Amino acid sequence: MTAASSPLVCRFAPSPTGYLHIGGARTALFNWLYARGRGGKFLLRIEDTDRARSTPEATEAIFNGLKWLGLDWDGEAVSQYSRVERHRAAARELLEKGAAYRCYSPAEEIDAAREAARAEGRPQRFDSPWRDAKPEDWPADKPWAVRIRAPREGATVIRDHVQGEVVIQNEQLDDMIILRSDGDPTYNFAVVVDDHDMGVTLVMRGVDHLTNTARQSLVYRAMGWDLPEFAHVPLIHGPDGAKFSKRHGAPAVENYRDMGYLPEAMRNYLARLGWSHGDDEVFSTEQAMEWFNLESLGKSPARFDFAKLEDLNARHIRAAEDERLVEAVEELRALRGEAPIPAAKRELLLRSMPGLKERARTLTDLEDSAGYLLKDRPLDLDEKAAALLSPEAKARIARLTSLLQHVSEWKAENLESAVKDYAEAEGMKLGKIAQPLRAALTGRSVSPGVFEVMEVLGRAESLARLEAQAS
RNA sequence: GCGCCCUUCGUCUAGUGGACUAGGACACCACCCUUUCACGGUGGGUACACGGGUUCGAAUCCCGUAGGGCGCGCCA
């Protein structure tokens, strides 16, 4: 059975040294989409072999980010460091085979050699003098690291679904350390052992790992293992084209939740960054799963564009169920430590959602525009609303209010015809009446349709609000 | 410094030698719809980095130049 026809196993392998950033999130998404769309597995491994920099908080942040994005993984997340004994055993195996060797060179010597190589215009590579040392030459009480014995001539070819065939001359690569002098494995070694043991068939990750792939394939070969397939996706840049880092305003994935983005909008946006499916822009996660393929992955880096994310978010909000949006608003408030919405007002919010969601680009917008529902009388007016309520306007509202008392059934269309009749009687355009009405009803100059607002608010509350502003 | 990769509207992209007067989406501008704001509709401007080839014909193939990215750790 070839690798291609065996069951698909993808993985996402972040290092827990910080929050889950947008690039990592997209890599995870691609792997997840690919695995889920093809009945494969999606595994999660935490690359925590750097004991000094890995933190449990970062691990937690990664879990939370993935959960919010809705990217579920199969089985337990694997801690790479928990497999350290296995890595050591594999290194011993290579040592015994002669495919790796003990290197006693101290750091200063290595640094000096590399600097010299660079100064001379040679590849920045360190050739260990211990490569061919005999056991009798080994110093007694000095620490040693384990280096892999890499070929010095020829080239290593990487076959990659995105990058094509990439040829790296072996002279660019040195004998990388696979086991540090403290006995812990290095990333490039542990990754290979773990990917192999976990049965990973496709390694999809950022293109910054491309040259690592050359080193890693040396390990596969030394261990006598088959290589998985590779797909190295381009990186995501910030809006200014520079690296999208924390300094450049790159938020953690969880911050997008706090900013009022829907996870499905985020998935939609991220999926379109570096991958495309013809002219399709707005699609569901199910469609993305079905469509996602390696062939349509681009090779050039993409810039992150908040405007487009926001547009997609608006579309997904409009498509979302009303109840779900109410819950999302509640969560957002809870996140900020605000008191829960009372049941009666929650009911109002739900009923007004069709009008509200049409206008919102983010959940924060949604909450903001729902403010008039959630607030109590007397409403505080914003500047524009106050300006709309001129003495004449107030007088008209007073007259209109008494007419509205007699509307038989408190429904939008009845209210609209009543107000239109009144406007006609006064010889005015509807807008001249509707705007002050809106101001009195919502405290703002912008809202869903006034008649809709009145219907949602109900007869008693509507009239009370109008009366409060009429005088 | 050495190596690898990238380059289509401001941004994300479609495009794999003739269907390209280069398509879509976001953003922008104008108009329409209209009780506000949105939504929706119509229209508009703006792109094949540059220079050489190959070819009857090039955004698409080749070479070079420029710009950008990434890698070159006992980090991941």
CA(A164)–C1'(B26) in Å? Answer: 30
pLDDT digits (tens, 9 = 90+) for A47-106: 998 888 999 999 999 999 999 999 999 999 999 999 999 999 999 999 999 999 999 998
Any strand B atom closer than 7 Å to A281 CB: yes
Rounded-to-integer distance, Cα A187 and Cα A192, Å: 9
Over residues A180-209, the mean pLDDT reads 96
Q: What is the pLDDT of residue A403?
A: 92
Q: What is the pLDDT of residue A247?
A: 65
Any strand B atom closer than 7 Å to A296 CB: yes
ipTM over 0.85: yes
Using 50, 70 and 90 to split pLDDT, how confident is the model at A357? very high
Element housing A161 (H / E): none
- Kindly give the interhelix angle for A430-442 and A450-457, rounded to the nearest 10 degrees: 40
Any strand B atom closer than 7 Å to A342 CB: no
Decide: A205 and A211 in contact? Cβ < 8 Å: no
| Strand B nucleotides with an atom less than 7 Å from a protein beta carbon | 1-8, 10-16, 23-27, 34-39, 68-76
Q: A258 — alpha (psi -120 to 50), left (phi > 0) or beta?
A: alpha
Residues 225-244 of A with CB under 7 A from strand B: 235, 237, 241-243
Residues 6+ apart with CB under 8 A from A383: none
Rounded-to-integer distance, Cα A263 and Cα A434, Å: 37
Over residues A283-310, the mean pLDDT reads 95
Over residues A29-55, the mean pLDDT reads 95
Q: What is the pLDDT of residue A3?
A: 46
In order, the DSSP letters of A297-338 are: B-SS-EE--HHHHHHHHHHHHHHS-HHHHHHHHHHHHHHTTP
Determine the nucleotide nearest to A109 by Cα–C1' distance.
B74
Any strand B atom closer than 7 Å to A122 CB: yes
Proportion of chain A above pLDDT 90, given as a percent? 81
Q: What is the pLDDT of residue A2?
A: 44
Residue nearest to nucleotide B23 (CA to C1'): A279
Q: Look over chain A and give the mean of its residue pLDDT values, rounded to a whole number.
A: 93
Q: What is the pLDDT of residue A249?
A: 65
Using 50, 70 and 90 to split pLDDT, how confident is the model at A240? confident
At residue A254, does pLDDT exceed 60?
Answer: yes
Q: What is the pLDDT of residue A209?
A: 95
Determine the nucleotide nearest to A191 by Cα–C1' distance.
B76
Over residues A395-417, the mean pLDDT reads 93
CA(A52)–C1'(B76) in Å? Answer: 12
Helix (H/G/I), strand (E/B), else coil: A100 = strand
Over residues A341-370, the mean pLDDT reads 94
Any strand B atom closer than 7 Å to A429 CB: yes
At residue A419, does pLDDT exceed 80?
Answer: yes
CA(A95)–C1'(B66) in Å? Answer: 48
Over residues A177-189, the mean pLDDT reads 95
Any strand B atom closer than 7 Å to A339 CB: no
At residue A471, does pLDDT exceed 80?
Answer: no
Read off the pTM: 0.93
pLDDT digits (tens, 9 = 90+) for A103-146: 999 888 898 899 888 888 888 889 888 899 888 988 888 999 99
Residues 135-154 of A with CB under 7 A from strand B: 143-145
Q: What is the pLDDT of residue A5?
A: 57
Half-sphere exposure of A51 (CA within 13 A, CB side): 8
Any strand B atom closer than 7 Å to A290 CB: no
Any strand B atom closer than 7 Å to A163 CB: yes
Any strand B atom closer than 7 Å to A384 CB: no
Determine the nucleotide nearest to A438 by Cα–C1' distance.
B36
Residues 6+ apart with CB under 8 A from A298: A234, A274, A275, A276
Out of A309-313, A376-380, A392-396, the most confident range is: A309-313
Active site residues of A: 246
